[in-house]
Structures are given as C-alpha cells and as structure tokens.
Amino acid sequence: MDYAATLLSKLPGTSPRRSRDIKALVETLESYMPAELIERVMKAYEFGAIAHEGQTRKSGEPYISHPVAVAQTLADMHLDSQTIVAAILHDVVEDTDVPIAELEDQFGTEVATLVDAVSKLDQMHFTNRAEAHAESFRKMMLAMIEDIRVILVKLADRMHNMETLGAMPREKQARIARETLEIYAPIANRLGINHMKVALEDLGFRYLYPYRYAVLQRALKKSKGSQRQIVKRISESILKAMEEEGITGEVRGREKHLYSIYRKMAGKKRILNDVVDVYGFRIIVDDVNTCYRVLGIVHGLYKPMPGRFKDYIAIPRVNGYQSLHTTLFGPKGLPLEAQIRTTDMDRVAESGVAAHWQYKAIDKSTATPQRRARDWLARLEEIQRTGTSEEFLESVKVDLFPDKIYVFTPKGDIMPMPKGATIVDFAYAVHTDVGNRCVAGKVDRTLVPLRTVLKNSQTVEIVTARGAKPNPNWVSFVATAKARSAIRQYMKNMRTTESVDLGKRLLDRSLKDLGSSLRKIGKVRLREALDELDLVGATDLYAQLGLGERLAPLTARFLIGEKGEQTEPKSASLVIAGTEGMVVSYAKCCYPIPGDEVMGYLSAGRGVVIHRNSCGNLINFRKQPEKWLSVGWEEDIDRDFSSQIQVETVNKTGVLAEVAAVIADSQSNIEEVSVNIRHQDTSAMTFLLQVKDRTHLAHIMRNVRKMQNVKSVSRDSA
C-alpha cells in the first residue's frame, strides 16, 4: 500500500521536497515495521503537519520538515513506532496550541509521556546562563533515566538542528556547537551510538571552529585520491589472505572523521600529515573465534606495532563496544589501524543502546549496551540526589569523557574505571557502603594508601572497618562522579546531624545560664517560637544554632521572654571531647589542645571555632562578646590534635633529621615542617605535630630541648 501517496493526497500544496521526505520515511519504516504501525506514524504526520501549518524555520523551510528529519534518523536506527510518532510530534505541544491531553487521546499515554518529557527539557527559565545550562542538563539526564528513548529523540533533534545551523547568527552557532561537543556528542558516545557521535562531533567542530574545519577539510580532500588506491590495495590483500584460510567476511576502508583528526593533532601536538596518513580498516566476520583467527592473519601479512593491541572483545568498553584493535606497519612503513569484529558487534558499535530495538532479544535486559546504559543511568540517579545542578553537571562530565583503565576484583570480575581513579574510587564503584567504610586497599595483595592511583590490569581489594567514616580530604583526589557525590552527601548528612546535636547543647546551656531549660520551656512555647521564627521544626533551629547562623544566648532570651532578663545567670561551659567532627573546629592561628585554657567563637556556617585564651586573634573578636562561649575539655580525651612548635638550632647538616627522629621517638607524627635560615649559624624550624594533649606536647619539647644542637624550643603562639 502506498501510504505516502494516500497521505499526500489529503494534504494539497505539499512541496516536492516534503513529498520526497515522507516517501523516504515510509520506505525505511516498511523495511522493519508492520502496516498497521506505519498507518499510525502517517496519522501522526498528518496531525503534526496541520498543527505546524504556517510555521517556518530560520532556513525558510516549513516547520514540519524538522520533525520528519528527526523521525527519519530514528527510523534508520529501526526504533519502535511510539518513538517515531513522538519524534514527529515532539514540538507540537511547545510550538502550537495543541494540549498534551489531546495527544494522549489521539496517540496513547506512552507517546504523550515521551513528547512531554522531550518538551519539558526546553521549557525552563533560570536566573543565569550557568544555572540554565546545568539544570537543563540535569533535567535531560533525569528524563533519560525514566525512558532512554527520550534522549534518543533529543539526540536526533540536536543532529538535525546542527545540520541546519547555518541559518543562525554566528554567536548562537558557536554556543550551540560548544554545547553539542561538550554534552550531546559525549552522551551519544556513552550510549554507544557511534554514527550519531561522529555526526555531532563533525558538525560541532564545523560551527565552533569554522576556519580550522575548512583547512582540514581541504587538506583531507587533496589526499583522498591517493588514499583510495592504497586502501583498495590493502583491502584486497587482506581479503585474499582470509579466502586462503577459508574465512568469509567483509573488509571496509575506514575514513577518519575531521574532529578525531583535529583532536589527535591538538592532543598529541602532531602535524596534519602524521595524522591523515594513518589508514583505518574494519574487518567484519561471522563469529568471535573467527575474529581471533583474522587477527593472526593480519599479523602475518603486516608486522604489528608493539603495545598497540587492544582486546575489547574479552574486556568490552564501558558503553558495550566490542572489537579487536591492532596497529600494523603497512606497505612502505605506513601505519594501519585494523578493527576486527562480528556483524552483531558492528551493529552495536554503530547503534549502541538503539540496537536493543533493532534486533529484539528474547530478554531485552540481557543486551550488553542496554544493560551498561541502564547501570550508568542508575548511577546518575544516585548522583543527582545530591548537590546543585552545577555540581551534577561537573560530576557527570567526568563520566562522559572516560579515558578508561580496567582493574580486577579479588574474584576476577572486571571493573572499568577512568584514568586517574584511586583506591577510594574503586571502593565506591563496588558499593557506596564499601566506600564509606574503607580504611585501606590492597593492590596485587600489597597494602597501599587510599589515594594510590590505579593502573591497568591490577587486582584491587578493599579493607573496611566497622565505624569507619569518609574523610572530607578524599574529595581532593577522587576521580569518579560517584565517589565525589557519595563523599559530599555523607559529609552533608554528618554535618547536619552534628550541627543539630551541638545546637541543642548550646541552647540548653544558654537556657541554664538564665535559670531555665528546654524541659521547662515546654513544647507549646517552643512551637510558638518556631512559628515566629518561620522555622518548620526544632531540628531546623538546633542546626542553625550549631552552625553559628543564630546565637544561642539571644535565642534562649527570646524563648523565655522577660523572665530571662531578671534571672541570675549561672556559669556553665560547653564541654568538648574533640570528636564533634565538622561543627567544632580548632583554630589554626593558635592550635588549641586538651589542657589549654580555651574559648569558643560562633562562626556563621562553620559552627564553633576553638581558640586558646592566649591567642592574639581574641583582640579582634572582643567587639562581639555575644559570639563567645565558655568552653571546657572533657576528661580522658583519646584522639590526636595538631600543635605547632618552633625550634632554633645550630645550622648544621643533618640537624633536621635528628630533631625529627627525637619527635618520632616521643610518639608523635610530624604533619608539616618548614625551615628558615636566620643567619649563617642558626636555623629556625617550625614543626606541625600530632599530640594527645598539653602534657604530651611538654614531653616532646623537653626531649627536643635536651639535644646538643638545639638552642631553644617554644610553642608557636599567634
């Protein structure tokens, strides 16, 4: 049945171009879709053409040409009828008066949901461009998590927009091209859709760097004639060698796309001729065993380059891509790149997750690229729950530009990780709980520090401990989005819990100073106060007090009203144990330790900062007495604190090592050391140490003072 002719007869005045586009779409659909579903697609086209009637694009073409082009791209990937219908209707809700409810009545809930998800990505308003970029990206990722077909429609939409970008102003061209290279092409790559990735990269390159693109394109055109002959000759020699071994297959000369040539030139600082003269071949055979046989054949024909073989069949790439890669010395020493794969692998390499619809497996969930994409999307869902949109964008960009290594678990399972990944990244890749409780790692059965950077093919084991917690410093060296996000979330939760606990203690202490307590205040008065302060619950009030955003003495007076002014204050100190974590910190100007006389200063957003009473900075803070707290140490504190000493020594070789050895013998770790030569005979050394308390520090200073080459020892005080 000629669907296109029937449909076009209903729409008089259709241009020859539109007629061609519709006929091409129908022909593609007929190759894999039953008649009743094609009728449904045609119904969608008729609906869309009427809805967009009178609308044109910047290029002057009728608007409906854009949705048809998007549908054609997806039909070439053999996507299902709902996706094709959604592609044709994807701009109807946004650009016409048609409500989403009408689409649902006409084409069903599934199509309406897809159209709504695609439309919502373009309907957001933000206070600044950075926020808009990050938030729209986040929305796109979330829509993709719900239904991966949303992003396939969005990628096809972006591809056609890029093909027609010439009608836009130059500034807009550059902005859209940069976004395409930074976001859309990497997503296509991450989902394994190679042909889309290549098209988006070349179009993005063309509009972002038009001059560089034109120069490369001219140079490539010049070299193509001679290249064609060389490619033909090499292809024939490979095919002949395969036939002699009784192997049937296909050999294709692979053209390099412009953006990959440009990236190689920029990344490896190589001239154009060095990059262009690399010849690529794709060899496609029936099964995996034959792939390895063909590898032997090409290595027999041409010598392989040492260290340039990669087996992505045994260890697939993170997006499901599988192939054997080898680089060879061809005729006259020309470098040849060969990719050897099966027909199924080639289909997956080009279509990625879309191959899931193309060749329906009995169990769709077993399709490798589909499963890997789902795993990635599940990780995205976990990451997006934390932090701002900008943090989410920054985190996911790490995943979108993966330069991968492959390491093994102790059981031999393969774990793909980005280059630069550490033991902590691996721990979080195994499971968030494993990351949160990790204390050490073993690489090839040898204990290593947590910040150790992993290398290809290492076996990694994580050592965990009950009660262990993530260290905030891990964020400075982890390489994966999941690890960074999980650490930040844990710290955020821990900070909230600690600030609530500290705030409650501060308020109770201030109330006791005024002869009252939280119990005496009662729930009714507390609720009234919370309403007056516009707070939801008591935990919000405690958190603000703990973080120093609200002052406990003033809040206590507010809670008890006039009675507080008449009550005789009692002295009560906040007792600290050194384990309060993120809401009690120790000033680096004076390094207070247990045994010192100390005061607490309420710093907005940081909680309580502890200073020694002798600290020079007290003078600066005296103007705000309401922010000072009386603080005391708990007895028998069991943890290390940082402290600083200054040692004046004779200026001799080896003195630093001698002093360091004495400090180590006194059961202390040195965190930092700096040396200043005051004049020819004397050196001043400053040590930042880990000590238990004032007694421990005095013991260290006594031992250092006894040394022959030491002139004086003092505790550094601001």
Please say whether the beta carbons of 18 and 69 come within 8 A. no
Which one from 39, 80, 95, 344 is the annotated catalytic residue?
95
> pLDDT tens across 31-66, in order?
888 888 888 988 898 888 888 888 888 777 888 888
- Can you tell me the mean pLDDT for 489-493? 75
Secondary structure of 275-327 in the HEC alphabet?
HHCCEEEEEEECCHHHHHHHHHHHHHHCEECCCCCEECCCCCCCCCCCCEEEE
Please say whether the beta carbons of 372 and 318 come within 8 A. yes
One-letter amino acid at 627 equals K
Residue 540 has pLDDT above 50, yes or no: yes
> pLDDT tens across 428-438, in order?
988 888 998 89
Task: Compute, in degrees rounded to 10, the torsion defined by CA atoms 445, 451, 454, 459.
Answer: 20
pLDDT score, position 632: 81
Query: How distant is the alpha carbon of residue 561 from its chain centre?
Result: 50
Model confidence at 118, in pLDDT bands (50, 70, 90)?
A: confident
DSSP 125-157: --SSHHHHHHHHHHHHHHHHHH-HHHHHHHHHH
> pLDDT tens across 350-369, in order?
776 666 544 443 344 444 55
Three-state secondary structure call for residue 205:
helix
pLDDT score, position 427: 93
Active site residue 580: no
Q: For 474, which DSSP code? A: G
**Highest mean predicted confidence (pLDDT) among 20-24, 112-116, 491-495, 686-690:** 686-690
Superfamily of domain 641-715: ACT domain (3.30.70.260)
**Highest mean predicted confidence (pLDDT) among 130-144, 267-281, 473-487, 615-629:** 473-487
- Can you tell me the mean pLDDT for 575-594? 74
Which alpha helices (DSSP H) does 307-431 contain, by range?
Answer: 343-351, 355-358, 368-384, 389-400, 423-430
Which one from 94, 110, 122, 501 is the annotated catalytic residue?
94
pLDDT score, position 699: 93
pLDDT score, position 581: 56
Torsion angles phi and psi, residue 608, rounded to 5: -100, 125
Beta-ladder partners of 710: 649
pLDDT score, position 698: 93
CB atoms within 10 A of CB 99: 12
Q: What is the C-alpha separation between 621 and 627, in angstroms, rounded? A: 8
Superfamily of domain 226-359: Beta Polymerase, domain 2 (3.30.460.10)
pLDDT score, position 80: 86
Element (H, E) at 590: none
Q: What is the C-alpha separation between 143 and 118, in angstroms, rounded? A: 8
pLDDT score, position 373: 61
Question: For 118-122, 382-386, 425-429, 703-707, which range has the lowest pLDDT when averaged over its residues?
Answer: 382-386
Model confidence at 283, in pLDDT bands (50, 70, 90)?
A: very high
Number of helices (H), then strands (E), belonging to the chain: the values are 31, 20
Element (H, E) at 406: strand 404-408
Secondary structure of 15-57 in the HEC alphabet?
CHHHHHHHHHHHHHHHCCCCHHHHHHHHHHHHHHHHHCCCCEC
Q: How far is CA 120 from CA 70, 90, 162, 527, 635, in A?
A: 18, 10, 20, 40, 59
Residue 203 has pLDDT above 90, yes or no: yes
**Highest mean predicted confidence (pLDDT) among 150-154, 342-346, 423-427, 635-639:** 423-427
Active site residue 344: no
pLDDT score, position 299: 92
Considering the chain, tell me which residue range(s) the CATH 3.30.460.10 domain(s) occupy: 226-359
Residue 128 has pLDDT above 50, yes or no: no
pLDDT score, position 388: 58
> Pick from 580, 585, 409, 399: which is nearest to 484 by CA?
399
- Can you tell me the mean pLDDT for 680-701? 90
Pairing of strands 446-448, 438-443: antiparallel
Residue 14 has pLDDT above 60, yes or no: no
- Can you tell me the mean pLDDT for 478-503? 77
Please say whether the beta carbons of 176 and 162 come within 8 A. yes
Residue 12 has pLDDT above 50, yes or no: no
Task: List the strands of the sheet with 710-715, edge to edge.
Answer: 670-679, 682-691, 641-650, 710-715
Q: Assign domain 1-120 one CATH number from 3.10.20.740, 1.10.1040.10, 3.20.20.370, 1.10.3210.10.
A: 1.10.3210.10
Beta strand spans in 493-604 (E): 574-576, 584-586, 598-603
Model confidence at 647, in pLDDT bands (50, 70, 90)?
A: very high
pTM of the model: 0.56
Q: What is the C-alpha separation between 612 and 641, in angstroms, rounded? A: 13
Considering the chain, tell me which residue range(s) the CATH 3.30.70.260 domain(s) occupy: 641-715
- The set of residues, in sequence order, having a beta carbon less than 8 Å from that of 706 and lying 6+ positions away, is none
**Highest mean predicted confidence (pLDDT) among 297-301, 389-393, 481-485:** 297-301
pLDDT score, position 257: 78
Tokens of 599: 């005061």
Q: How far is CA 376 from CA 225, 315, 319, 574, in A?
A: 43, 17, 9, 47
pLDDT score, position 534: 78
What is the average pLDDT score of the chain? Answer: 79
Q: How far is CA 244 from CA 104, 237, 241, 294, in A?
A: 60, 11, 5, 11
- Greater confidence (383 vs 171) lies with 171
